[in-house]
């Protein structure tokens, strides 16, 4: 019986060893989307004026360490935002996305695709909420809030622009970019 208890304890500890705690958020080592397993590429904390807003995680089919590798990678990409701040108004997130597009992809910042994407966000975000932004190889960008689909837009140029919000030359948060690229 003692051997069984030791073995069970080891099994439970080893399964927990792969989970990553970032800013108090348990970041999963993998996610399964469209029958594909994406692995955690990296994670970090999005801060605004020293306030922790969300934990950002990048999941990819293959490990990437640079923006160029990320953009060239033909696989699925998922940016997950686990909100830790008590409340973030949807307007603030939309404003941050719009600023990220304007700073890194001005050609798509005012596009119909950007407007459609922004209009899919209907609710504010509170601590514990999860927002997923999935970028598919065909250029589809799909958003979900706590597992509920919000909408999708198909445009390869817009898909690249969305990734550049976090990974462009002028990212929303430089340390978050480094963390999600596994360089933090």
Note the pLDDT of residue 95.
Answer: 96
Note the pLDDT of residue 87.
Answer: 97
> Quick check: 184 pLDDT over 80?
no
Tokens for 64, please give them: 């990437």
CA atoms within 13 A on the CB side of 63: 6
Distance CA 18, CA 99 (A): 35
Rounded (5°) CA angle 179-181-184: 30
Q: Taking a C-beta distance cutoff of 8 angstroms, is the pair 58, 78 a contact?
A: yes
> Quick check: 7 pLDDT over 70?
no
pLDDT tens readout for residues 133-167: 999 999 999 999 999 999 999 999 999 999 999 99
Distance CA 80, CA 91 (A): 19
pLDDT tens readout for residues 49-92: 889 999 999 999 999 999 999 999 999 999 999 999 999 999 99
Question: Rounded to 5, what percent of the chain is helix, strand, coil?
Answer: 35, 35, 30
CATH fold for the domain made of 21-180: Chalcone isomerase (3.50.70)
Give domain limits for the chain. Answer: 21-180
Q: How would you label 24-53 residue by residue, b for 16+ Cβ within 10 Å and e otherwise? A: ebebbeebeeeeeebebbbbbbbbeeeebb
Distance CA 152, CA 163 (A): 15
């Amino acid at each position: 019986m003692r051997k069984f208890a030791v073995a069970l304890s080891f099994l439970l500890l080893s399964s927990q060893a792969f989970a990553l705690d970032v800013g108090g958020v348990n970041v999963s080592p993998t996610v399964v989307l469209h029958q594909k397993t994406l692995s955690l590429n990296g994670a970090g904390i999005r801060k605004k004026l020293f306030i922790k807003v969300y934990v950002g995680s990048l999941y990819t089919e293959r490990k990437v360490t640079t923006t160029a590798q990320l953009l060239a990678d033909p696989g699925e990409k998922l940016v997950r935002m686990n909100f830790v701040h008590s409340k973030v108004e949807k307007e603030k997130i939309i404003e941050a996305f719009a600023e990220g597009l304007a700073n890194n992809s001005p050609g798509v910042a005012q596009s119909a695709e950007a407007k459609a994407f922004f209009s899919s966000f209907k609710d504010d975000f509170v601590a514990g909420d999860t927002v997923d932004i999935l970028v598919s190889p065909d250029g589809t960008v799909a958003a979900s809030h706590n597992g509920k689909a919000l909408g999708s837009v198909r445009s390869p140029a817009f898909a690249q622009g969305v990734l550049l919000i976090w990974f462009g030359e002028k990212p929303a948060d430089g340390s978050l970019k480094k963390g999600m690229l596994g360089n933090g």
